[in-house]
Structure 1
Amino acid sequence: MSRDRKEERTGFQESAPYHPDYDLQTDFVMVYGIDESMTERIKQWKEKGYIVHLMTGVAWGNYNSYLDGEVDGIPHWDEAQMGRHQQMILHGDQPVIPYMVPTLSFGRYLAEHIRIAVDAGVEAIHLEEPEFWVNGGYSEAFKREWQLYYKELWIPPHASPDAQYRASKLKAYLYTRVLDRLCAEMKDYALQRYGRVLRFYVPTHSLINYTQWRIVSPQSQLVELASIDGYIAQIWTGTSRTPNVYEGVRKERTFETAYLEYGVMQELVRGTDRRMWFLHDPIEDNPNYTWADYKQNYLKTVVASLLHPGVAHYEVAPWPRRIFQGTYPAEEGAGKENIPADYATTLLQVMHTLGNLDQNVIEIDQIPLQVGVLIADSAMFQRMKPDPEAPHPGKYDGTDPEGFQQEGDTELLDFSPFYGLALPLLKYGIPVRPLLLDHVRRYPGYLSPYHVLVLSYEFIKPEYPDIHYVLAQWVQDGGALIYVGDDSDPYHAIRAWWNLEQQDGKKKFGTKYHSPREHLFEQLGLKKMKSGIEIVGKGGVAWLNEHPADLTLSTAGANRLRQAVQDLIGMLNQPAMQWVSRSYFKIKRGPYIIAAALDESVSDEPLSIPGPVVDLFDAKLAVLNQVVMKPGEQALLYDIESGRPAAGGISLIAASSRIEALSESATGFQFVARGPARLQAAARLYSKEKPVSAQYFVQGKAAAASWEWDPDSQTVLIQYEHGNENRTEVHVRWSS
């Protein structure tokens, strides 16, 4: 597992100065926040051997000097995002930290502060969370931007579906503009001043989560910016535990939601040269759960991410200080407690394993049916009910679900039109991938890996008509398209290309196609189709003439979608299109086995995985001859036989430390372990002989290390403690 930090496979973000208690020993660290201590914090982490990046919010932050006019003598409070009733949309209220309208002036302010970080020698900048809330769009700054962009006076977003859609498109454009200008300017500055190629990344929630939480962000538009080098997929327990509805039951489905979220973020960069890091968080922004709850959901997100092998770089934690120094409710409800020792060890084992996941992929069992569910940036543009008199729910950020349900609209938060298309297939073991409709026109052959596409325009809209020419050709060439929709969405009537006609030299809307589906079906030669199945060239189309949200309401609804897929691929009778339902997901990446047993699936039978394997979620890295997983459980395992080095000798399997200088002699072996101070740690290694003793040394002082020998697997578990200075030497002897 020894590797060069320059590979930047793992990293974390932290706003506090360096401290040995949360020195995770990843490859890079993102120093968070622009303030007077930034330069010193950058220096501290550099001195500890880290590659140092800077992360700061592009939508919010401690930017009150700008808001108060201290920077240029002009107050900028009119650039705060405002709701319908002229209330500021806040990220924090002590001090008051509003979300910002990303004006050109605000971009210049950010550039001047980022310049200081460039001067301090950071190698990359992360501009976090370009977020504009759906219930915003009422500030004076936004009204000015509307007039410049649309060349008309501002219209209140709640006035009509068209006004809401146009407001959201403008919100996405404004963040695209500020990011492009800011990144290009700072790249030019770094190259001219220091001869250094500065990199820019955008940490962003998934398109699925932003849509569900009712936030607008550029998302796939950013891949068109040459100044952006990649992304962090900000997916964690807090986003993935947002409840959804399946077969009439509304509840948290953390694994399934995370699987879809990581999937759409892998799709964001598929076929490009952009870097993607997948984020995990062992806790979350809501501080009211127990450590047991955090752990259960954290492991679900880890496994969900690893089932997408197109990404092998990870942000292993945001805010490690709050993990290893924070306290959270105890199980018995009596006060708060620090992280349990076993959970801390497990976390570190997972974090260091993540740095070794750049492996060849071996799919277990047969090649599955490749199914894509199409989603688009436009999903974020229609997340307000079109009734001007309807309640205007506030922002939802995952920290107060009960409060939002009381004052908002639970049905709106469920995002059922999307989950109605994805969950019925995912729950039956079909590896559904959310595909980006906007990519269809960006990348030739984008759809070619997929056998089946599921599409509905009841919650997304195609921005350009040429998308339909690509879809029609894909069907003609043998694809199976499942269309779900009844043309009932009020957003079909917005001013858009599908309902625009030129009459007497003037634009007239609402006269050509009632919905974009009609244009798509015209390209498919199905203008008169009402529902059912039609063969088109070598492929075919199945149309469920109902709203996709209805598919979530009952088992019968989910079955209608599953049956439509089976009926269409059965009619096409192509060898590659085989429906195989199962109650699990399982892949192998090198020696690592990643598995999830599904609940609410085709069977309640447990998933059995033969050993010998090492359980990487176990604090003692147990060797198991068999793993039996109940529905709803996940596993990350190391296959001992396939991972065994051909030449024999000492080799690391897993550890809760960064292992360096592993060496073998005639009498034993030794290594250096680095990790957070004073935490209990473990390592399991292949060893040709049974040890007779083990010691670890911290600052020259020796202590006995505990060890367990497993003769069948010829592996040894060593348990020791990280030292106060994050460095421990471990010596193991197998002969005197």
Structure 2
Amino acid sequence: MLVQRDRSQERTGFQESAPYHPDYDLQTDFVMVYGIDDTMPERIRQWKEQGYIVHLMTGVAWGDYNRYLDGEVDGEPHWDEAQTDRSGKMILHGTKPVIPYMVPTISFGRYLAERICIAVDAGVEAIHLEEPEFWVNGGYSEAFKREWQLYYKEPWIPPHTSADAQFRASKLKAFLYTRMLDRLCGEMKEYALKRYGRMLRFYVPTHSLINYTQWRIVSPQSRLIELPAVDGYIAQIWTGTSRTPNVYEGVRKERTFETAYLEYGMMQELVRGTDRRMWFLHDPIEDNPNHTWADYKQNYLKTVTASLLHPGISHYEVAPWPRRIFKGTYPAEDGSGKESIPPTYATTLLNVMHTLGNMAHEVNESEGEPLQVGVLIADSAMFQRMRPEEGAPDAGKYDGTDPDGFQQEGDTELLDFSPFYGLALPLLKHGIPVRPVQLDNVRRYPEYLAPYRVLVLSYEFMKPEYPDIHHAIAQWVQEGGALIYVGDDSDPYHRIRHWWNDGGDYGRTYGSPREHLFEQLGLVDSGQLESGEDIRQLGRGVFGWLQENPSSLARSKSGADMLRQTVQKAITLLSGDGSDWKPKHYYKIRRGPYWVAAVLEESISSDPLVIRGPVVDVFDPQLGVLTEVRLNPGQQALLYDVEAGRPSEDGVAVISASSRVEDLTRMSSGFRFIARGPANLKATARIYCPVKPVSATQDRTASVAWEWDSATRTVLLRYEHGKGNRSEIQVNWEAQEQGTSQ
């Protein structure tokens, strides 16, 4: 049930570039005022006056920084610092005005620092440096060429000319943004502490490693863990990233729930075992403005459900840009033009947003969850996202806003990122609790792999940055883990200049990093291993090798079955009976009194998943009470278990509400509370109520519609947020009925 929470917990927040307005005052704990233009101090002041904890967010790779580019800041033009593709064209985020993605030079960092100081002076409590992004098809500007010479101490090489040049260019791109964030965060923290005695916090809103790799963007990702001045992250995962098509059993299509599940799991791994904060982002619409409200809603609910299936995180950015949600218009279902948000969807959004503020419960039940299977992925997956073949075309820029245009002009097969999805989707689609695992963290944290019983690994789409990673993996296998390696050494990036083939400290060279891994596992004569059949015991653990390119596993049902059968054989050998292998066609967990569930399409069954009630459907704008829920394939649910969450016998408590509920007070004649939310929007609240009400009012005069559910002793209230974003709701029952139950 909802309880009044202190804003200082910062469980929910949103970002907004516009001044305060009551129509999109979501009543979260904090707001991220977006942008560092001249209006920034006034916008900060307005949101603070409304009781919000105020943060600042600005793009660290792009923004309206034309004063800097034009030389108005220091008298020197900086257009040569724009990211540029091989044809000499700037890579743009916007065209009116022209907003290029930037090479993160020291000069550009100095400009951002000067602007951020103004936000610190205005009293913000935290800074979010958003989206440190360098496009794979960039790396041709004069600024980048200079950085190459400084970093590698050799002349610049066009990144598209070889696998080695591409890998080195991308590795430099990640370094440059790591350097930028390290300098900015450290400098600004010192400024705030020295000048104001205030501890300033820094966060990095970033897409998942999976999405950045798929969209062909380079970013620091797990490198940020090594920066002590970074306090956490926002996982920028939403419909726009998760609906990017992928291939499973030979079919290419959008799989929003499954992709979101993997993306959120990747970001949970980024902070696992640390004290850093992670907010999961949801977006009720997306950057592509060409979908209908029904489409946005369907995909929004998929991403919300996917995020809630990762209970290690309980903080959320509930919306970017609420103004475009609650004030924007999008294509009507019948093609008659554009329309504003449907009132029922608006109410559902607010139900979910305020429920998320109360989702810090430990998991009480997680069906079929004891087996932990991980698919390893490394930052280096971002470094080899260009085909190194002679004469290969530029793969194009994909950011989810024009999928039809990319379909016609871009490299769709490369965009699919099948080497990864070919390993993950066959397990996920059969209900196996699979998680992406950050390979780079193996050398950062002792026992990082301990929670996992099975790991799937391939070096056909990424490379291990350091050889000691293999020592840790080998030890994990010897101590009882099951490792499945998938690969045929066909990746041209095996031949880049790197530790396994430079003849350096290791006394020998290897044709691929796989050979070094097998050596550490004691499998020196790897030619004796037979693909798929040789599942063997190693110490207390198990090893198997599928001598296939992982992308081939995505192209057919037989490929997906091959992976599943290999993992199952390994588990059987590990446990003796294979009892931990329990395929199913759904995911379902309990978080406190909440059930979170999703039923999979393309799975082992088309039967519905039945959840017994009474439960309240949080996705329903009317917060209906259901005695039973039947979820079909492709459906999701967030349900409140009425009996599990019931307070003491005569207690009054909020189950769910599309308002921020404050000052809930029981009186002898009933109860009252303050409801806060966006002006003029319809709201609902379902509340435990020991006695059937006789009346309900808003601000002591207006009547409030209500419905009594005698079976659950709950009351549903329907009202509208007032123009001032604050209303007092009062529910009355007859005096002679006090203490009775109906």
The TM-score with structure 2 as length reference comes to: 0.97
CA contact (8 A) 2:367 2:587 kept: no
Q: Which amino acid aligns with 1:118?
A: V
CA contact (8 A) 1:451 1:577 kept: no
Residue 723 of structure 1 corresponds to which residue in structure 2? 722
Task: Tell me the secondary structure at the aligned position of residue 273 of structure 2.
Answer: coil
What are the within-5 Å matches in structure 2 for residues 389-538 of structure 1? 389-502=391-504, 512-529=509-526, 530=529, 531=531, 532-538=534-540
Distance in 2 between residues matched to 1:26 and 1:639, nearest whole Å = 24
Distance in 1 between residues matched to 2:538 and 2:702, nearest whole Å = 73
What are the within-5 Å matches in structure 2 for residues 17-166 of structure 1? 17-166=19-168
CA contact (8 A) 1:427 1:598 kept: yes
CA shift for structure 1 position 368: 2.9
Cα deviation 1:586-615 (Å, max 9, x = unaligned): 000000100001111111110000000000
Distance in 2 between residues matched to 1:126 and 1:502, nearest whole Å = 41
Q: Which amino acid aligns with 2:492?
A: P
CA shift for structure 1 position 551: 0.4
Residue 542 of structure 1 corresponds to which residue in structure 2? 544
Distance in 1 between residues matched to 2:50 and 2:369, nearest whole Å = 45
CA contact (8 A) 2:572 2:578 kept: no
Cα deviation 1:158-191 (Å, max 9, x = unaligned): 0100000000000000000010001100000000
CA contact (8 A) 2:705 2:719 kept: yes
Distance in 1 between residues matched to 2:734 and 2:510, nearest whole Å = 82
Residue 625 of structure 1 corresponds to which residue in structure 2? 627
CA contact (8 A) 2:369 2:433 kept: no
CA shift for structure 1 position 647: 4.8
Residue 282 of structure 1 corresponds to which residue in structure 2? 284
Distance in 2 between residues matched to 1:656 and 1:314, nearest whole Å = 16
Select 1:258's aligned residue among 257, 260, 263.
260
Task: Tell me the secondary structure at the aligned position of residue 87 of structure 1.
Answer: coil
Residue 644 of structure 2 corresponds to which residue in structure 1? 642
CA shift for structure 1 position 391: 1.0
Displacement over 4 Å in runs of 4+? 574-577
CA contact (8 A) 2:396 2:411 kept: no
Distance in 2 between residues matched to 1:138 and 1:521, nearest whole Å = 38
CA shift for structure 1 position 584: 0.4
CA shift for structure 1 position 363: 2.3
User: What's the RMSD between the two structures over aligned residues?
Assistant: 1.2
Q: Which amino acid aligns with 1:719?
A: R
1:554 matches 2:556:
yes
Q: Which amino acid aligns with 1:707?
A: W
Distance in 1 between residues matched to 2:281 and 2:249, nearest whole Å = 30
Task: Tell me the secondary structure at the aligned position of residue 673 of structure 2.
Answer: strand
Distance in 1 between residues matched to 2:477 and 2:93, nearest whole Å = 46
Task: Tell me the secondary structure at the aligned position of residue 231 of structure 1.
Answer: strand
Aligned residues: 728
CA shift for structure 1 position 364: 3.2
Distance in 1 between residues matched to 2:178 and 2:544, nearest whole Å = 37
Cα deviation 1:611-641 (Å, max 9, x = unaligned): 0000000000000000000001000000000
Task: Tell me the secondary structure at the aligned position of residue 503 of structure 2.
Answer: strand
CA contact (8 A) 1:391 1:408 kept: no
Indicate the larger mover: 641-650 or 7-16.
Answer: 641-650
What are the within-5 Å matches in structure 2 for residues 593-608 of structure 1? 593-608=595-610
Cα deviation 1:332-380 (Å, max 9, x = unaligned): 0101100000000000000000000000111233443100000000000
Residue 740 of structure 2 corresponds to which residue in structure 1? none
Distance in 2 between residues matched to 1:175 and 1:158, nearest whole Å = 21
Residue 679 of structure 1 corresponds to which residue in structure 2? 681
Q: Which amino acid aligns with 1:520?
A: L
Residue 310 of structure 1 corresponds to which residue in structure 2? 312
Task: Tell me the secondary structure at the aligned position of residue 537 of structure 2.
Answer: strand
Task: Tell me the secondary structure at the aligned position of residue 348 of structure 1.
Answer: helix
Task: Tell me the secondary structure at the aligned position of residue 431 of structure 2.
Answer: coil
CA contact (8 A) 1:368 1:430 kept: no
Task: Tell me the secondary structure at the aligned position of residue 288 of structure 1.
Answer: coil
What are the within-5 Å matches in structure 2 for residues 380-395 of structure 1? 380-395=382-397
CA contact (8 A) 1:158 1:388 kept: no
CA shift for structure 1 position 534: 2.0
1:376 matches 2:375:
no
Distance in 2 between residues matched to 1:368 and 1:9, nearest whole Å = 28
1:327 matches 2:329:
yes
Distance in 1 between residues matched to 2:169 and 2:158, nearest whole Å = 8
Task: Tell me the secondary structure at the aligned position of residue 26 of structure 2.
Answer: coil
Residue 709 of structure 1 corresponds to which residue in structure 2? 708
Task: Tell me the secondary structure at the aligned position of residue 367 of structure 2.
Answer: coil
Flag the 1:23–1:48 CA change in 2: closer, same or farther, 3 A.
same
Distance in 1 between residues matched to 2:86 and 2:10, nearest whole Å = 44
Indicate the larger mover: 40-49 or 687-696.
Answer: 687-696
Flag the 1:226–1:577 CA change in 2: closer, same or farther, 3 A.
farther
Select 2:366's aligned residue among 364, 367, 373.
364
Taking every aligned residue pair, what percent have the same amino acid on both sides?
73
CA shift for structure 1 position 704: 1.3
CA contact (8 A) 2:460 2:549 kept: yes
Cα deviation 1:455-482 (Å, max 9, x = unaligned): 0000010000000000000000110001
CA contact (8 A) 1:369 1:577 kept: no
Tell me, which stretches of 5 or more residues in structure 2 are unaligned? Answer: 736-742
Flag the 1:253–1:682 CA change in 2: closer, same or farther, 3 A.
same
Distance in 2 between residues matched to 1:444 and 1:578, nearest whole Å = 26
CA shift for structure 1 position 575: 7.5
